[in-house]
Amino acid sequence: MSMTQPSAANGATKPACAAPDPACATEVFYDGACPLCRAEIALYRRAPGGERIDWRDASAGCAPPEIGRDAALRRFHARRADGRLVSGFRAFLAVWRVNPRLAWLARALDRAPFVWIGEAGYRGFLLVRPLWRRAPAR
């Protein structure tokens, strides 16, 4: 897996674990060793607004220091523009808010009981996700 990614600002290549691009609306930590997760992230990256997100592959060692690599591999995490680190369904809402086509849905679902239902669905997915995931390189 490549340790570089295009910079949102100028299309140049930057190290994947470099300091967050200040122009990014959101920073996302995902499990690149999970083929399903990797495919979903590829869709978000190509979607409108995807260029404003700083995508970090936790399986390659890019994890927020507040939670560490193992926790970043267990759940999907996003740092919102306000600096708050969220995980699970709320992390998906943070990603959707950056996409002009999904922002309305994120705003509508970012309240009870939808957050509870979304988080329950995400936790259910986490039970079957190991079936798709490869072991990370150490």
Q: Find the domain containing 40 and state its range.
A: 21-131
Number of domains in the chain: 1
Both structure tokens of 106: 């994120």
Instruction: List strand residue ranges (DSSP E) for 1-138, in order.
Output: 4-6, 13-15, 26-30, 53-57, 77-79, 85-87
Both structure tokens of 96: 């959707």
Which amino acid, 77?
Answer: H
CA dihedral 90, 91, 93, 96 (to 10 degrees): 180
Mean pLDDT of 100-107: 88
* Position 72 in a domain: yes
5 pLDDT above the threshold of 80: no
- Give the C-alpha separation, 118 to 49, whole Å: 22
* Position 9 in a domain: no
pLDDT at 82: 84
pLDDT at 81: 86
Which amino acid, 4?
Answer: T
* Position 2 in a domain: no
pLDDT at 25: 54
